[in-house]
Amino acid sequence: MITLRSYVGGEWVEGQGTLETLVNPATEEPLARAGSAGLDRAAALDHTRRVGGPALRALTFAERGACLKAACDVLQAKREELIDLAVANGGNTRGDAKFDIDGATFTLASYATLGQSLGARRVLVDGEGVQLGRTPRFHGQHVLVPRHGVAVHVNAFNFPAWGLAEKAAVALLAGLPVLTKPATSSAMVAARMIELWVEQHIFPTGALALLLGGAGDLLRHVGPQDVVAFTGSSDTGQLIRALPEVVRHSVRVNVEADSLNAAVLGPDVEPGSDTWDMFVRDVLRDMTQKAGQKCTAIRRVLAPAPLAERLRDELVERLAAIVVGNPAHEGVRMGPLATAQQRDDVRAGIDQLARDGRLVHGSASLAPVGAPAGKGFFVGPVLIEVEPGAAAPSVHAREVFGPVATIVPYTAGAAEAIEIVARGQGGLVSSLYSDDSEFVSELVLGLAPYHGRLFLGSARIAEQSPGPGTVLPQLVHGGPGRAGGGEELGGLRGLHFYMQRTALEGARPVIDKIVG
Ligand code: NAP
């Protein structure tokens, strides 16, 4: 069995003591070991800050963009190997694995292009300059410059490739070196990505470090120029925000956490229409892709009461055809959950949601295809339905991170749909499916304050859309409240988190020279 190593201080380092075993979640076969005990995390951060920071800041945006392009090319050349690793260590079907790995390369390529367009500059201009005095000579201009710290990235288990790349691409383009920590259980893909980049000298020395295994005291060593970007559970997010060092040094923290994403079917949508089919397809994809372990997956399916029964029957019929099993096995459409802990949490979550309503699809007696008897962390797709007007407190409060969704019928039009969705207390993305522009406008105004992104599904985009579950680098990702209050990506906007906005106030010719 291989032992995965961290890449810190410019060298590969093995953890000491007891290491965690990474397994194939479909078979429970041990694949690798990893741990971070004995690593000097303070020194790792210091090296990244001290060596990687100046090297990266010496490059222009275009040069940093060129590094990202090279990083993307390396992954594309090794795509098949990375897919195989994701199937083995992540329980991903090949489709799931491609979604993660192609998401990573697409994001790297997007930020590479952005870097190229920013050109041979090291300072970003923020907005128009303003005249401050009697004459234009006394001038003000906001600029953005890279911070002199390190970006600490802590990622969730579900997207080892994309999660690493989407955060690293933005920070590195901004000019901030990165120490990335993937979730331990699924770290093989992330570890290989970094290994490939190091082998091929893609980034300047010290610009990208990898910590494998538990975070330990990592975040006790952050300082005032550092930033922390975290993706994972609300509980861990809250813990990180409250760390004394984070509070004392006003360390910027971005949290991407839970979300009870809703999909709302408009009353105008006829069964069998293009918009109806798109809605059904998106719900099914989000329930089963990555076995529902997607932060953006649709959890609450709002349907007008007169259409709810028809929708339920169609979803149940289509879910019954999903083949669950070992994703290495031909014909399997949905793999296992990532860990035994996740499986147990999801089972407990299903029991809790079912108390709010009625389980209409899913049973405990699952026979996963191609998995050894009694092995694997499998949960089949589960659909729950609640009564119109039901309070259903758990449905609107508990994120069950698996192939589980609940149908919530509504009777009183847009106002009631808004009120129900808002019970989720802030989400990453919700989606509205309707060809009635008045209904859509009302929902957008009502729901935008609760979301980082709204997906407007309609027949007009049915052919082109990847669905609400796909996070695009051009648009912001994050959401208020329960979703963590964070914001990532969004093209150029994403860079701001890693840079300091400074107002320059002085003689215009001097300022013009600085900002180019
Ligand atoms: P988690 O248990 O909070 O772990 C997330 C990451 O935090 C892992 O790398 C974990 O490391 C690390 N971690 C755990 N305790 C820590 C601590 N005390 N200090 C510093 N780091 C710590 O979450 P998860 O179970 O992996 O992820 C599932 C959750 O992530 C779901 O709720 C999902 O909604 C959310 N998620 C959100 C997004 C988004 O973009 N909003 C995306 C994906 C997932 P170890 O693995 O080594 O324990």
**d(CA 233, ligand 1 centre) in Å:** 5
* Nearest C-alpha neighbor of 407 from the set 420, 419, 426, 418: 420
Cα–Cα distance for residue pair 6/122, rounded to 1 Å: 30
Ligand 1 atom with least separation from CA of 256: 41
How do strand 300-304 and strand 262-265 relate by DSSP bridges?
A: parallel
**H, E, C per residue of 289-346:** HHHHCCCCCCCEEEEEHHHHHHHHHHHHHHHHCCCEECCCCCCCCECCCCCHHHHHHH
Which is catalytic among the residues 166, 256, 385, 488? 256
Nearest residue by C-alpha to atom 39 in ligand 1: 256
Q: Quick check: 58 and 219 in contact, CB under 8 A?
A: no
Point out the ligand 1 atom lying closest to the alpha carbon of residue 258.
34
Number of residues that this document lists for the chain:
516
Q: Which one of 222, 295, 428, 451 would you pick to mutate in the ligand 1 pocket, going by the greatest count of ligand atoms within 8 A of its CB?
A: 295
Task: Print burial letters for 117-132: b (CB count within 10 Å at least 16), e (below 16).
Answer: ebeeebbbbbeebeee
Strand 178-181 and strand 151-154: the pairing is: parallel
Whose C-alpha lies nearest to ligand 1, atom 26?
Answer: 156
Ligand 1 mean position to 257 CA, how many Å? 8
pLDDT at 365: 78
Burial grade of 138 (CB within 10 A; 0-12, 13-18, 19 or more): middle
Q: Which two tokens stand for residue 171?
A: 């920070």
**Quick one: which atom of ligand 1 is closest to the CA of 232?**
30
Whether 295 is catalytic is yes
> Could you tell me how far CA 293 lies from the centroid of its own chain?
11
Which residue is closest in CA terms to ligand 1's atom 22? 215
Transcribe 216-255 into DSSP letters. TTGGGG--TT-EEEEES-HHHHHHHHT-HHHHHTT-EEEE
Q: In 3-state terms, what secondary structure has residue 144?
A: strand
Probe target for ligand 1 pocket from 221, 231, 453, with the most ligand atoms within 8 Å of CB: 231
What are the pocket residues of ligand 1 if the criterion is a CB atom closer than 6 Å to any ligand atom? 154-158, 181, 183-185, 214-215, 219, 231-233, 236, 239-240, 256-258, 295, 399, 401, 428
State the burial class of residue 244 (Cβ atoms within 10 Å of its Cβ: 0-12, 13-18, 19+).
exposed
Counting Cα atoms < 13 Å in the Cβ hemisphere of 343 gives 17
Residue nearest to atom 8 of ligand 1 (CA): 183
What's the 159 CA to ligand 1 centre distance in angstroms? 11
Q: pLDDT by residue for the chain (516 residues), tens digit each?
A: 899 999 999 999 999 989 999 999 999 999 999 999 999 999 999 999 999 999 999 999 999 999 999 999 999 999 999 999 999 999 999 999 999 999 999 999 999 999 999 999 999 999 999 999 999 999 999 999 999 999 999 999 999 999 999 999 999 999 999 999 999 999 999 999 999 999 999 999 999 999 999 999 999 999 999 999 999 999 999 999 999 999 999 999 999 999 999 999 999 999 999 999 999 999 999 999 999 999 999 999 999 999 999 999 999 999 999 999 999 999 999 999 999 999 999 999 999 999 999 999 996 678 999 999 999 999 999 999 999 999 999 999 999 999 999 999 999 899 999 999 999 999 999 999 999 999 999 999 999 999 999 999 999 998 899 999 999 999 999 999 999 999 999 999 999 999 999 999 999 999 999 998
Whose tokens are 């290994």? That residue is 195
Amino acid identity at 80: E
Cα 464 to its chain centre, rounded Å, is: 22
Q: How much distance in Å is there from the Cα of 237 to the middle of ligand 1?
A: 8
pLDDT of residue 364: 66
- The residue whose C-alpha atom lies closest to atom 46 belonging to ligand 1 is 183
Residue 181 has phi, psi (to 5 degrees) of -125, 105
Q: For residue 134, give Cα distances in angstroms to 130, 140, 509, 512.
A: 12, 13, 16, 18
**Alpha carbon of 256 to ligand 1 centroid (Å):** 9
338 alpha carbon – ligand 1 mean position (Å): 13
Pairing of strands 358-361, 382-385: antiparallel
Neighbouring C-beta atoms of residue 386, cutoff 10 Å: 21
Compute the distance between CA of residue 445 and CA of residue 234 in angstroms, rounded to an integer: 27
Cα angle 50-10-43, degrees, rounded to a multiple of 5? 50
Q: How far is the CA of 183 from the centre of ligand 1 (A)?
A: 7
Ligand 1, from 154, 286, 296, 430: best to mutate by most atoms within 8 Å of Cβ? 154
Atom 23 in ligand 1: which residue has the minimum CA distance?
Answer: 232
Q: Which of the residues 295, 314, 399, 487 is marked catalytic? A: 295
Integer Cα distance of 40 and 214 in angstroms: 13
Lookup: tokens for 414: 């847009």
Listed residue (492, 252, 268, 288) closest to 378, CA to CA: 288
Ligand 1, atom 41: nearest CA belongs to which residue?
256
C-alpha to C-alpha distance for 378 and 430, rounded to whole angstroms: 27
Residue 344 CA to ligand 1 center (angstroms) comes to 16
Q: In this structure, which residue's CA is closest to atom 38 in ligand 1?
A: 295
pLDDT of res. 1: 86
This prediction has a pTM of: 0.96
Burial of 215: CB neighbours in 10 Å, binned 0-12, 13-18, 19+: middle
